[in-house]
Amino acid sequence: MATRPEENKDIFDTAIKSLLDLVSARKISPELPEELLQFEEYVHLHAMLSEIRKSLTAFADGNVEYPITQKGYMAGTMKHLQSSLYHLTWQTKRIASGDFSQRIDFMGDFSESFNSMVMQLDETRQQLSQIAYTDQLTGISNRRHFMETLGNEVERAKRYDMPLSFIMFDLDHFKQVNDTYGHSAGDKALQTFAGVFRNSNLRSCDIFGRIGGEEFALALPETTLQDAFGVAERIRATLEKTVISHKDLSFSITTSIGVCEYKKDDTLESLLQRGDLAMYQAKESGRNRVCLENTKAS
Catalytic residue among 31, 51, 112, 214: 214
**Residue type, position 138, single letter:** T
Do residues 167 and 231 lie in contact, with contact meaning Cβ atoms separated by under 8 Å?
yes
- The verdict on whether 214 is a catalytic residue reads yes
How crowded is the C-beta side of 118, counted as CA atoms within 13 Å?
Answer: 20
The residues that are catalytic are 214
